[in-house]
């Protein structure tokens, strides 16, 4: 089975969030970038497990500029066979999806995995768009994934529980927590990653329809009102009369 | 402006998330037509929230690819320039497909009204907001659950049957396992949440958390290590790598308030932190704080709330 895993870079979860150029750009000064956790911990690791069990290959794909290469190497160190980077600086999920689709269409892959969302844009959009563009089935927010006899068998988050679904290949699956366990790359993986192919391809025409006009930081939080541990009634009174949430 | 709202239903009634999407479009000034699929009682309650008409597809569709075809066809037939759906499990699967079919720009999980061609949403897991501008004539928007509320008081909507060309299904649902037997509201939509962390010291101590939650009609949540250690199920894990929530009231007991945890909960309207450590970072993000032992404070708080009524 040929598997494609979408890998995105995201600022480390402890990064200070700030903006530059009139609040139009993320300030990456001093920011450490990581592989987006959903892509790494769940999508990539499950793809590797499927390959280990059934054979085939795992390729990663990233839409981004050369500053993505370190996180792509990390994905290769964890175990992907090769990587594709489409050289573009995308502003919108439709653009990302259409560039990936231009590479993934024509039956090149049986299965495409992506994380359920990135921790910077939190869109949860690329997978669904990709499925539509590739005319593939789509399992969103999957918490487990098997492929048996050409059929995807997965569980996914649904209203108030988990749903079991079956879908035909080719399929796009977005990975949520539960699908796999994080793998830490070992020294051999890190060494091997240096020489694995990372193919940079120019971006062709892409759809594009949205962009961020301006970022904004949330207003500073007011002081925390402290209540004595022996006076829970006082907290209840404040929640009811002051905060009006009871 | 005409809007087509995709309305997920449950037992023939619109879900709260669906009604929020309809109310959202109404507040944006749109004339709203809702699309409902499968069983529907009268107008499903959507007229009251502001829809003027319901297009009803009698066939029950499970594959979001088919639902997306129905939504897209309805949007074209109605000449809608806005398509809305809730940003929940169904909306996340349907809306991106619709955006592609309609050649529309999509803005997921919005928290502000559409003003001209710009709309606000949270980014960096709630640590910042972005004003996204959409160039396309048709726009697809999904609404963050519990961000807008449900309008009421509208007249019953006319129901028209609608038979779109939906093609073959590529996905079928084969089973369902409920995550909570108590019938509490799913976390992303919950209005009140009681959450606990490693400070509770073990899964056997969750009774006091559940009791407070039951008393408040709240949903339970937890920090990441708690779900990683299997003390609580994964679907309760909130934070940057779990579920993002924005309830009216978030009570956190025995959670330190790490930045990754706060990212998923800091949009809550009111935050209460209970922690033995007066230096716990959570107190910097909370509105109300109690320095104390959760094992003593939680039962007392439950008692105090019971005494209210
Ligand atoms: C990439 C990445 C992503 C992450 N994503 C998330 C995420 O999505 N969500 C998340 O929650 N975490 C996340 N984390 C983990 C996060 O950094 C913290 O480690 C975690 O939130 C700590 O959980 P905790 O507060 O339950 O435990 P601890 O940090 O161990 O805190 C326990 C707290 O309980 C208090 N306490 C102890 N006993 C009592 C008592 N009897 N009564 C009251 N209080 C008591 C202590 O003072 C302490 O503040 C992530 C980390 C990384 C690196």
Among A156, A177, A214, beta carbon nearest to B242: A177
Same domain, B155 and B215: no
Ligand 1 nearest atom to the CA of residue B295, by list position: 41
Q: What is the pLDDT of residues B218-272, one digit of tens each?
A: 999 999 999 999 999 999 999 999 999 999 999 999 999 999 999 999 999 999 9
pLDDT of residue A168: 97
Confidence of residue B188 (pLDDT cuts 50, 70, 90): confident
Answer yes or no: is pLDDT of B102 > 70: yes
A189-218 residue pLDDT tens:
999 999 999 999 999 999 999 999 999 999
pLDDT of residue B202: 98
Same domain, B115 and B155: yes
- Shared-domain flag, residues B71 and B202: no
Mean pLDDT of B287-299: 98
Determine the residue of chain A that is closest to B298 in CA distance.
A232
pLDDT for res B309? 67
The count of domains in chain B is 2
What does the pLDDT read at residue B180?
72
Residues 130-159 (A) with a CB less than 8 A from some CB of B:
131-133, 136-141, 143, 155-159
Q: Does B88 share its domain with B214?
A: no
Q: Does A122 touch chain B if contact means CB atoms closer than 8 Å? A: yes
- pLDDT of B124 > 90? The answer is yes
pLDDT in tens, A94-134: 999 999 999 998 789 999 999 999 999 999 999 999 999 99
Percent of chain B with pLDDT over 70: 99
CATH number for B237? 3.40.50.1220
What is the distance in angstroms between the Cα of B244 and the nearest Cα belonging to chain A? 10
Cβ–Cβ contact A29 with B under 8 A = no
| Ligand 1 site, residue B109, Cβ cutoff 6 A | no
**Domain boundaries of chain A, sorted by first residue:** 2-218
Query: What is the pLDDT at residue B87?
Result: 97
Within a domain: residue B180? Answer: no
Looking at the fold, whether B140 and B197 belong to one and the same domain comes out as: no
| Euclidean distance between CA atoms B147 and B121, whole angstroms | 11
Domain that holds residue B124: 2-161
Asked if residue B166 belongs to a domain, the reply is: no
pLDDT exceeds cutoff 70 at B182: no
Residue B184 confidence class, pLDDT cut points 50, 70, 90: confident
Pocket test for ligand 1, best of B195, B196, B241 (most atoms within 8 A of CB): B241
Please indicate, yes or no, whether residues B272 and B139 belong to a single structural domain of this protein.
Answer: no
- pLDDT surpasses 90 at A77: yes
Residue B226 CB less than 6 A away from ligand 1? yes
Contact A233 B287 (CB under 8 A): no
Q: Does a structural domain hold residue B171? A: no
Instruction: Kindly report the average pLDDT of chain B as a whole number.
Output: 96
B130, closest residue in chain A (CA to CA): A215
pLDDT digits (tens, 9 = 90+) for A142-198: 999 999 999 999 999 998 899 999 999 999 999 999 999 999 999 999 999 999 999
Average pLDDT value for residue range A43-72: 98
Domain shared by B155 and B223, yes or no: no
- Assess whether B156 and B193 both reside in one domain: no
User: Could you tell me if B265 and B222 are in contact, meaning their C-beta atoms sit under 8 angstroms apart?
Assistant: no
The CATH number given to whatever domain includes residue B118 is 3.40.50.620
User: Looking at residues A223-239, what average pLDDT do you find?
Assistant: 97
B 208-227 residues with CB < 8 A to A: 216, 227
Under the banding of pLDDT at 50, 70 and 90, the label for residue B181 is low
Q: What's the Cα-to-Cα distance from A12 to each of A6, B85, B209, B240, B260, rounded to whole Å?
A: 18, 31, 31, 11, 10
CB-CB under 8 Å, A140 with B95: no
In a domain, residue B168? The reply is no
Q: What fold characterizes domain A2-218?
A: Rossmann fold (3.40.50)
**Does residue B179 surpass a pLDDT of 90?**
no
B306 in contact with A, Cβ within 8 Å: no
C-beta B294 within 6 A of ligand 1? yes
Q: Is the pLDDT of residue B211 over 90?
A: yes
């Amino acid at each position: 089975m040929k598997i494609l895993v979408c890998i995105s870079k995201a600022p480390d979860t402890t990064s200070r969030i700030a903006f530059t150029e009139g609040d139009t750009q993320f300030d990456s000064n001093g920011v450490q970038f990581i592989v987006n956790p959903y892509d790494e911990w769940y999508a990539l690791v499950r793809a590797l497990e499927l390959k280990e069990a059934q054979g085939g290959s795992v390729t990663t794909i990233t839409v981004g500029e050369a500053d993505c290469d370190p996180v792509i190497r990390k994905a290769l160190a964890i175990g992907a066979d090769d990587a594709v980077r489409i050289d573009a600086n995308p502003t919108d999920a439709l653009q990302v999806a259409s560039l990936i689709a231009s590479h993934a269409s024509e039956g090149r892959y049986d299965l495409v995995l992506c994380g359920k969302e990135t921790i910077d844009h939190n869109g949860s959009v690329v997978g669904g768009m990709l499925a539509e563009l590739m005319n593939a089935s789509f399992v969103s927010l999957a918490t487990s994934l098997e492929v048996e006899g050409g059929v995807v068998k997965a569980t996914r988050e649904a209203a108030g529980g988990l749903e079991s679904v079956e879908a035909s290949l080719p399929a796009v699956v977005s990975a949520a927590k539960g699908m796999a366990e994080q793998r830490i790359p070992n020294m051999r993986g890190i060494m091997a990653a240096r020489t694995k192919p990372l193919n940079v391809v120019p971006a062709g025409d892409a759809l594009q329809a949205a962009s961020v006009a301006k970022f904004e930081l949330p207003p500073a939080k007011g002081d925390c009102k402290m209540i004595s541990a022996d006076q829970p009634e006082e907290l209840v009174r404040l929640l009811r009369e002051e905060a009006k949430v009871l | 402006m005409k809007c087509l709202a995709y309305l997920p239903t449950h037992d023939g009634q619109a879900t709260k998330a669906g009604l929020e999407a309809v109310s959202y479009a109404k507040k944006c000034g749109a004339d709203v037509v809702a699309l409902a699929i499968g069983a529907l009682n009268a107008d499903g309650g959507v007229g009251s929230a502001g829809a003027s008409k319901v297009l009803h597809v009698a066939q029950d569709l499970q594959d979001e690819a088919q639902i997306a075809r129905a939504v897209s066809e309805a949007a074209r037939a109605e000449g809608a320039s806005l398509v809305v759906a809730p940003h929940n499990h169904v909306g996340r699967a349907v809306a991106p497909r619709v955006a592609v079919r309609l050649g529309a720009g999509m803005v997921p999980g919005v928290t502000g009204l559409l003003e001209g061609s710009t709309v606000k949403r949270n980014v960096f897991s709630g640590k910042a907001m972005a004003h996204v501008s959409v160039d396309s004539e048709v726009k697809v928007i999904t609404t963050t659950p519990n961000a807008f509320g449900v309008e009421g008081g509208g007249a019953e909507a006319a129901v028209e049957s609608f038979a779109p060309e939906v093609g073959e299904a590529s996905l079928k649902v084969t089973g369902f396992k409920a995550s909570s037997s108590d019938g509490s509201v799913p976390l992303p939509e919950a209005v009140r949440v009681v959450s606990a962390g490693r400070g509770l010291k073990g899964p056997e101590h969750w009774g006091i958390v559940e009791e407070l939650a039951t008393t408040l009609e709240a949903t339970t949540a937890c920090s990441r290590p708690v779900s990683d250690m299997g003390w609580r199920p994964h679907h309760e894990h909130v934070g940057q790598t779990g579920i993002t929530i924005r309830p009216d009231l978030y009570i956190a007991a025995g959670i330190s308030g790490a930045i990754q945890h706060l990212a998923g909960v800091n949009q809550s309207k009111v935050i209460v932190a209970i922690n033995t450590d007066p230096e716990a970072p959570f107190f910097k993000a909370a509105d109300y704080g109690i320095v104390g032992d959760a094992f003593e404070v939680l039962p007392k708080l439950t008692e105090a709330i019971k005494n209210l009524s």
